[in-house]
Amino acid sequence: MNRHSNCRRWILYLFTAGLLVSAAVAQANDQLQQMSQDPHQWVMPGGNYSLIRNSKLNQITTRNARNLRVAWTMSTGTLRGHEGQPLVVGDMMYFESAYPNFVYAINLNDVGHMVWKFEPPKNPDAPPVACCDVVNRGVSYVDGKIIASVLDGHIYALDAKTGKVLWTAVNADPLKGQTVTAAPMVVKDKVIIGVSGGEFGVLGYLSAFDVNTGKLVWRAYSAGSDEGLLFDTEKTIDANHQKPAGKNSSLSTWSGDQWKLGGGTTWGWYSYDPTLNLIYYGTGNPGTWNPAQRPGDNRWSMSIIARNPDTGTAAWAFQMTPHDGWDYDGVNENILFDATVNGRTYPALAHFDRNGYAYVLDRSNGKLLAVHKYDPTVNWATSIDPATGKPTVDPAKMTKSDVNVKNICPAAEGDKDEQPASYDPLTHLFYIPTNHICMDYQAFDVKYKAGFPFVGAILNMYAASPDVRGRFIAFDPIAGTTKWSINDKFQDWSGVLTTAGGVAFYGTLDGWFRAVNMSNGKILYQMHCPSGIIGNPITYEHKGRQYVAVLTGVGGWAAIGLAAGLTKPSEGLGAVGLTASLGDYTNLGGTLMVFSL
């Protein structure tokens, strides 16, 4: 055979191999999307790529929800905060505990049988730099693999049948203050995962690892150069102004090299639009918490960013809280839905920010479609520009060095933190677990040292209304109206599940698990669980019976005093005093609770 024939054969071979790989990737992604549409299963952390946390199952209704009972339970083997949710794939359930991040596989045909348990190596360097408890927000599934992130930044791909480690990747270094608490998201052949550590001067980033090998494919930072941000200066849109971001859209908003300690960590939830081929996520607070040390808008902290999952290149970025002075992290979930505004329907996303405002954006270009308060006490800003999203800050509520600024609403925990809301396509309402809290905030100068806190503020948080720290609400973000609300003694830090039976499920920090009539907010059923609830309910059907499952186990920032044994009101970044009486109502302990009729 001559050299030209040999060359042609190799070209044909490589071309065919490339097609096969592409086909396999597309098939895996299509399979995951199809599985997420099966209400009998729960195969993604948010139920589907849109993060609507809504199920078409309707066996449990407003008429029979009072007959709910505990079907079975299981200890997670750990005591700290459980902020995740189980997955149900076929006849198997998978979930991950708080640190030391045990991962379990349970046979639903033989309840109580742990098919396998994965125990990652313990890294003692990780817990001391976990800002707000050693939480984890769950595992992901794809093509026979369970993808798990653990506190010290390792990412594991596990064989879903055996628990065998298929590959391991590293996404953080605790010695630099970096940890990982988020649930990964799988898009095509990429595992998408962020990083925690904004209180340790960590510069945030989003990483993409190859789902088959664990190799790092791309990493996009939250501040700094265009190259580090993966911004195309001519194509990436500055969504606040609906124009190309241009050169140095981030660097020009920081003083000197302050961006290198710029925060903008990415520990929240990730969503994906397969049609637009864009992933969406939020970035956290800039470092430090003392705004006087970092003049400028500090882009792109406190922002929503849309990226191409194949390359990481940003399509657009929208900043909600420029020059943050209150720790209003922008990491909360972006729920994808179709929004009708002034008679026109848009592919949209809804984002209920820590700063107390609900943003509705066109998810194709980041244009602001609607913005409203979702808690009436918000006072740090007097208004938000409906065109640009720029807040008009009340000067009396702007924090500054060595001044104790009082009665700022919301507090740093926000009117909603990472606890995810749910969207119901039938009512067109969002069902939101919220905080109802305010704070006093005194900033001070702080120096950076790797692996040590880089905060620079003393906070005290308190209830915004007498003995009310949480509100569970049904909310229309287009009109800005609240249909009904339930007031709770403590912050509502659990996620929400809505169902076609007209029933919403959520848990309270002091341990009540509730079924609520979605039309009027009436509590149809409640049970006091062994520990407070900061996990997220899911539902599935097995052998013709609908079940609702939730991880209980109090902790997280909301309950860091109880979780870590802290007593001084200003400890836990100001959270301890807010829930000083929580220990009178609940205790530590991770338990999986499963309910059915």
Q: Which residues are catalytic?
A: 327
The whole-angstrom separation of Cα 293 and Cα 202 is 16
Q: Are 66 and 524 in contact (CB under 8 A)?
A: yes
Q: Report the sign of the C-alpha dihedral through residues 298, 303, 307, 311, in that order.
A: positive
Burial class (CB within 10 angstroms; exposed 0-12, middle 13-18, buried 19+) of 450: middle
| Beta-ladder partners of 434 | 471
Taking alpha carbons only, the member of 341, 328, 362 closest to residue 237 is 362
Non-local CB neighbours of 272 within 8 Å, separated by 6+ positions: 49, 185, 187, 278, 279, 280, 309
Q: Would strands 314-319 and 237-238 be described as parallel, antiparallel, or unpaired? A: parallel
Q: Which letter, b or e, does each residue of 205-235 get, where b requires 16 or more Cβ atoms within 10 Å of its Cβ? A: bbbbbebbebeebbebbbbbebebbbbbeee
Which DSSP string corresponds to 161-198? TT--EEEEEE---GGGT-B--SPPEEETTEEEE--B-G
Taking alpha carbons only, the member of 390, 392, 354 closest to residue 374 is 354
Helix H or strand E segment including 564: helix 560-564
The residue written with tokens 């507090």 in the block is 411
Three-state SS annotation for 59-70: CCCCCCHHHCEE
Residue 298 tokens read as 């500090």
